[in-house]
Amino acid sequence: MTSQIIIDPPEDGLASNGQTSPTTLSIHLTINGRDHALDIEPRVTLLDALRERLHLTGTKKGCDQGQCGACTVHIDGERVLACLTLAAQAQGREITTIEGLAEKDGTLNAVQAAFLDQDAFQCGYCTPGQIMSAVACIREGHAGSDEEIREYMAGNLCRCGAYPNIVAAVRQAAQELRS
């Protein structure tokens, strides 16, 4: 197994080891403020790197093809899907997962607390993705009404059908964060 540096590109502007065959990449990921070094194949997604390599299993794998939202994380503060993001592509960005949302002393984020208050889940599998999406939805300014919450949370599916309570939780957290 070889490794290569992909940042600090050579003069032609292409960062590579000069090989054209697939090879192992040595990358650093900044996750929840901590630096992680890992050697991965280029095709490894951020989702698989988080779960299988770094054992951050709070981020869930649902459909693994960008349709369900269970793998929602933040990159540079914006919600994205970890299943359609290559881990290598995320090098140099700030990644936040559900494990990084609460305060260090365990105080829950307002959205996490609102999900508990409103009983906004049943089986809980989609919940980390729902919460990461909701935090960003409120920050974007897209939680102004129930209709807007429904539209801008549409990328997170809940097979248990807890949608009314999820909307209530997002509404509550948005109100708390505004006041």
Partner 1 sequence: MRDFSYLRADSIEAARNAAALPGAMLLAGGTTLVDLAKCGVAEPATVIDISHIEGLDAIDVSAERAVIGALARMSHVADNPQVKSYFPAVSEALWQAASAQLRNMATIGGNLMQRTRCPYFRDPANFPACNKREPGSGCSAIGGVTRGHAVLGTSEACIATYPGDLAVALVAFDAEVDLGERRLKVEDFILAPGATAEREHDIRPGEVITAIEIPGSAAARRSTYLKVRDRQSYEFAAASAAVGLELEGDGRTIRDIRVALGGVATKPWRARAVEEALKGKLLSEDTVRAASELAMEAAVDHGANHYKIALAPRVIARAILKLGETA
Using CB under 8 A, list all residues that contact partner 1.
6-7, 9, 12-16, 19-23, 25, 41-43, 45, 64-66, 69, 72, 78-81, 83-86, 88-89, 92, 133, 136-137, 140, 142, 150-156
Q: Measured from the CB atom, is 117 or 155 closer to partner 1?
A: 155
Q: Shortest gap between Cβ of 128 and partner 1 (angstroms)?
A: 13
Q: Measured from the CB atom, is 123 or 154 closer to partner 1?
A: 154
Question: Residue 96's closest CA among 114, 80, 75, 126?
Answer: 75
Q: Shortest gap between Cβ of 88 and partner 1 (angstroms)?
A: 5
CA distance linking residue 179 with residue 163, whole number of Å: 24
Question: Residue 135's closest CA among 105, 108, 164?
Answer: 108
Q: Shortest gap between Cβ of 13 and partner 1 (angstroms)?
A: 3
Q: Shortest gap between Cβ of 28 and partner 1 (angstroms)?
A: 14
> Scanning the structure block, which residue is given the tokens 């960003």?
136
Asked whether 62 and 157 are in contact (CB, 8 A), the reply is yes
Q: Measured from the CB atom, is 72 or 112 closer to partner 1?
A: 72
Q: Measured from the CB atom, is 58 or 117 closer to partner 1?
A: 58
Q: Measured from the CB atom, is 86 or 108 closer to partner 1?
A: 86
Distances (CA, A) of 108 to 79, 105, 132, 144: 19, 9, 13, 22
**Helix (H) or strand (E) run with residue 30 in it:** strand 25-31
In the three-class reduction of DSSP (H, G, I as helix; E, B as strand; rest coil), residue 72 is classed as strand
Q: Shortest gap between Cβ of 107 and partner 1 (angstroms)?
A: 26
